[in-house]
A and B are shown apart, each in its own frame.
Chain A
Amino acid sequence: MSPQAKNYTAHVLVSLILLSMLVIILFLTKGFIQDFFVNPPSYFIENSSIEEVYSKFIFIFIIIVIVLITFIFYLLLTFNSRYELNVWNEIKSLAVSKQQFKMLYDSAPIPYLILDKDGNINNPNKAALRFFGAYPEEIEGKNFFSYIAGEYADKAESFFQNYKSRLDINRKEVQMISKNGNIKSVMISIFDLHGPGSIEAQGLAIIIDITEQKIIEKAKTEFLSLASHQLKTPLATTRWYSEMLMTEGTGQLTNEQKEYIKVLHIANQNMIELVDVLLNISRIEMGSMSADSVVTNVKELSDSVVNELALQISNKKLNIKLEYNNLFENVKSDPKLLRIIIQNLVSNSVKYTPEGGIISITFKEDSKERMIIVADNGVGIPKDQQEHIFSKMFRADNVKSLSNSQGTGLGLYLVKSIAVSLGGDIHFSSEENKGSVFTITF
């Protein structure tokens, strides 16, 4: 008998008892009730003897006692079945949520697998079967880590050891092989289902297929590499051939011809610079230039930038102050990106500071952040245009009119993008004809 049926039986039984008691009581008290309605209580008490009143009260008392006993009887009778009913309801809702969980697990679009203590596959969901391109019996019982393949095959063992020591594996990038031999790029996570206190491990493995993303990423990088190579080949050719023409020993040129070739050479150099900046911007925007943190000597980077600009600096008789304060000789950062930042800021200062000006590169550090400060006493940025200086292709009016400056309007946009991608930022203060101070934090 189900707990519900038991409960109903108890209800019916008790209701019957109460009903029959009611009938008996009504029958026994027929005269009393008639009396009671015909004669109101005041009259009824005044006109009855003490004995009669007592006997009537005792009668009412007995009825109350009987009702109470019946109720207790009911509670006792249904105690067990009510308890069972609760349990039964609990079990039923548990079964519903288990079923919901199973549906969620089975039809989730993400491959899930349960692993036993040795990392063998139990109960792969549909997405996992699709991922491996296999029937359940083909992968059940096989070791999960044996499917780690490709470039990551040698890491399988260390992941397995990790799992055996019951350490969670969280979003680790590996490659896995499916039944038909396809290598797929994935992120795997494996969590211990029972927590570290339990005796035997059981893992929930989650696979996120990132093969598509990887292909797109690779295509982007390849496109940029190709574009870069194809764009730069003619630029290198023009650079070297114009240089050869200007070299003594390849025949005499007239002064006029020398001038023409010089212009050609400078225009080509500007083009090289522009292509470099454009490619770097594309790499950042397409996300194919990601910051690689390695031990970096920022002092050396800064020195190499200054050396590269030495000719322009000496031509303009600029005074360079380097205040490195013995800082940043080995910091974790991306040297290539950091160099692009320093290169752009310093070359801006060189471009936009008149002859005899002062440029300083200062390293500073406080408890929160590292700072590279590039300051000059050059032409500055007009107040009303300062808010635009990090936008793409923007050049302030006062530098557009400088005859000797060939800016692309992309430098500061690039610097800002890189600074942000390095987890830092850029700030500046500037006053027209007084100079600018750019501060990179990283």
Chain B
Amino acid sequence: MESTNNKIKILVVDDDSNLNNVLVDKLNISGFEAEGVLDGEIGLKRALEFHPDVILLDLVMPKIDGFEVLKRLREDSWGKGAKVIMLTLIDRMDSIAQAVDKNVAGYLVKTNFSLDEIVEEVKKIIKFPKS
């Protein structure tokens, strides 16, 4: 993952291995360099190690959940500007508001988006300067 090619690096943090796998495959097919991790703690560690261009972050995870990952990420000097897209099954308003508060680049509800649409969202966000 720490390769020196100029592919855009994406980290997928999702505890559901099925969803994680298919998402990583799709992103790799679409020309990104994607890595998937199944747990928030490792996700945070990997993010701070290799500074991905975009993080796709699930919310409901064992040990530390997406909001906690986001909170700790924002405490880091690189992490506070990292581009994070929440990718979750939770569609409650309070959860969306909480994510917006933490300056996320997007909030996508898994069942409402196709893989193609997710790729489009990622591409859209990369074009914008870091938030």
Chain A residues with CB under 8 Å of chain B are: 225, 228-229, 232-233, 235-237, 239-241, 243-244, 247, 249-250, 272, 275-276, 292, 334, 336
Contacts and interface: CB of A to CB of B under 8 A. Distances in A.
Contacts of B18: 237, 241
Contacts of B22: 237, 240-241, 244
Instruction: Bin the interface of chain B by size.
Output: 20 to 34
B26 interface: yes
B26 A235 contact: no
Nearest to A280: B91
Contacts of A236: 19, 89, 110-111
B23 interface: yes
Given A236-B89, A237-B16, A244 B25 contact: yes
B93 A233 contact: no
B19 A244 contact: no
11 contacts: A232-B89, A233-B16, A236-B110, A236-B111, A237-B19, A240-B22, A241-B18, A243-B115, A249-B29, A276-B111, A334-B93
A133 B16 CA distance: 46
B115 A232 contact: no
Contacts of A241: 18, 22
Given A228-B89, A236-B110, A240-B114, 6 more contacts: A228-B91, A229-B60, A229-B90, A233-B16, A237-B16, A272-B112
Interface in B92-129: 92-93, 110-112, 114-116
Interface of B is mostly: helix
A233 B59 CA distance: 13
Interface in B17-34: 18-19, 22-23, 25-26, 29
Contacts of A250: 29
Contacts of A276: 111
A336 B93 contact: yes
Nearest to A275: B111
B115 A244 contact: yes
Contacts of B90: 225, 228-229
Contacts of B116: 243
Given A229-B60, A232-B110, A240 B115 contact: yes
B118 to A, nearest CB: 9
Nearest to A334: B93
Contacts of B29: 247, 249-250
B21 to A, nearest CB: 9
Given A240-B19, A244-B25, A232 B93 contact: no
Given A233-B16, A237-B19, A240-B23, A272 B93 contact: no
A276 B109 CA distance: 12
Contacts of B115: 240, 243-244, 247
B63 to A, nearest CB: 16
Nearest to B94: A292
A239 B93 CA distance: 24
Contact of B26 (A229, A232, A244, A292): A244
Nearest to A335: B93
Contacts of B112: 272
Contact of B89 (A233, A249, A292, A336): A233
